[in-house]
Amino acid sequence: MVRLGVIGIGYWGPNLVRNFNELSNCKIIKCCDLDTKKLENIRQKYPDMIITKDYLDIIKDKNLDAVIIATNTKSHYKIVKDVLSEDKHVFVEKPLTTNSKECLELIDLAKKKNKVLMVGYVFEYNSAIKKLKEYIENGELGKINYIDMIRTGHGPIRQDVNVMWDLAPHDIYILLKLIDSKPDSVIARGKAFLKNGVEDVVYINLTFPNNKIANIHVSWLNPAKKREITIVGDKKMAIFNDISQDRKIELYDKGAAYSEISSSEFDKFQLLLRDGDITIPKINLEEPLKTEAKEFISCILENRTPLSDGIKAYYVTKILEAAEESLKKNGGVIKIVY
């Protein structure tokens, strides 16, 4: 039985509490937040859990094995470091930190302490994303030409980071999983409408080796909640819609190619558009957060590295750091060196 403490029970933390609480091989003993109202909500739902406003009550508790952190992004580095220093395993929400050097420092500390460091990149555990990966690996889509991603909605609006650091970590993580190579350059442009210096809408364009590109549009100032990925391969195309309940993925047997039709220079090529069937595959609907929670606990019990480990989180942060540099240069091309 893994004994857990949770730090940060704002918007997202209660989802983690619910999922970890449903597992039989761990127990949440203590929950911490600076906000008394949020603590009272937890006490009402889970009367057995001890509540506290001081996270030292959690990290200094020798009876706890591991800590789950769902505090504001800018606080992750210090809290993760404090938890690891007290010899406890850590699960921290994405992004690990907004500074790649800090990521490396935390990865190193976890290694020295022989503790699990897992980052809440929940799409690692999403069955629809696994299906897309399968389509790419088994050649169903052919050679991937480009990927288009949209993650928009009306809030929640953050105070500590811009929309890119809030939403795009998910998309970058998914891209790294799907494409199996890392982007070598990035361009990002965005605008801050609500608060000076904190962008509310950002467009990120990434170039990958082998002639692939990807585009990410993130905004928390948009009337429509959209979570979409379009993958265009040279054989087939796929659309992932995370909002849909029954059509998470649509696989389109569509394509276009020029073929040579005569040897004369005039009218030498003919454009052929293929417009075939649309397939909707069946997707396992286990809540990805539940799979994620299981992974953390089994990594502790089996002393193994999680799928969404510190190194993958470091790559995401490194790419976003470069995107941030481009943003500040109003769309300058930034090479990414890992």
Ligand X SMILES: NC(=O)c1ccc[n+]([C@@H]2O[C@H](COP(=O)([O-])OP(=O)(O)OC[C@H]3O[C@@H](n4cnc5c(N)ncnc54)[C@H](O)[C@@H]3O)[C@@H](O)[C@H]2O)c1
DSSP 119-163: EE-GGGG-HHHHHHHHHHHTTTT-SEEEEEEEEEEE-PPPSSS-H
Q: Which stretch binds ligand X (CB under 6 A): 28-36, 134-142, 264-272, 325-333?
A: 28-36
Which residues in 102-121 contact ligand X (CB under 6 A)? 120
What's the min distance (Å) between Cβ of 94 and ligand X?
Answer: 6
- Find the Cα–Cα–Cα–Cα dihedral 42, 47, 49, 52, rounded to 10°: 60
Q: Which stretch binds ligand X (CB under 6 A): 6-14, 195-203, 221-229, 258-266?
A: 6-14
Site map for ligand X, 158-197, x if CB under 6 A?
A: --------x-------------------------------
The span from the CA of 171 to the CA of 118, in Å, is 18
What's the min distance (Å) between Cβ of 93 and ligand X?
Answer: 3
Q: Which stretch binds ligand X (CB under 6 A): 7-15, 130-138, 141-149, 327-335?
A: 7-15
Which residues in 54-93 contact ligand X (CB under 6 A)? 55, 70-73, 75, 93
Q: Is 99 in the site for ligand X (CB under 6 A)?
A: no
Altogether, the residues listed in the chain come to a count of 338
- Considering only 4, 6, 8, 88, the residue that binds ligand X (CB under 6 A) is 8
What's the min distance (Å) between Cβ of 60 and ligand X?
Answer: 14
What's the min distance (Å) between Cβ of 333 and ligand X?
Answer: 27
What's the min distance (Å) between Cβ of 17 and ligand X?
Answer: 11
Q: Is 94 in the site for ligand X (CB under 6 A)?
A: yes
Residue 224: which of 143, 123, 128, 150 has the closest Cα?
A: 150
- Residue 141 or 219 having the CB closest to ligand X: 219
Contact 120, 68 (CB under 8 A): no
Q: Is 38 in the site for ligand X (CB under 6 A)?
A: yes
CA–chain centroid gap for 101, Å, is: 19
What's the min distance (Å) between Cβ of 78 and ligand X?
Answer: 8
What's the min distance (Å) between Cβ of 2 and ligand X?
Answer: 20
- Specify the DSSP class assigned to residue 305: -
- Find the Cα–Cα–Cα–Cα dihedral 226, 21, 89, 307, rounded to 10°: -40
Identity of the residue numbered 75: S
Residue 323: which of 83, 149, 163, 143 has the closest Cα?
A: 163
For ligand X (CB under 6 A), the number of binding residues is 23
Which residues in 300-329 contact ligand X (CB under 6 A)? none
What's the min distance (Å) between Cβ of 252 and ligand X?
Answer: 27
Strands (E), the chain: 2-7, 26-32, 50-52, 66-69, 89-93, 117-120, 144-154, 185-191, 201-208, 212-219, 221-233, 237-241, 249-260, 269-279, 334-335
Instruction: List residues binding ligand X (CB under 6 A).
Output: 7-8, 10-13, 32-35, 38, 55, 70-73, 75, 93-94, 120, 122, 156, 166
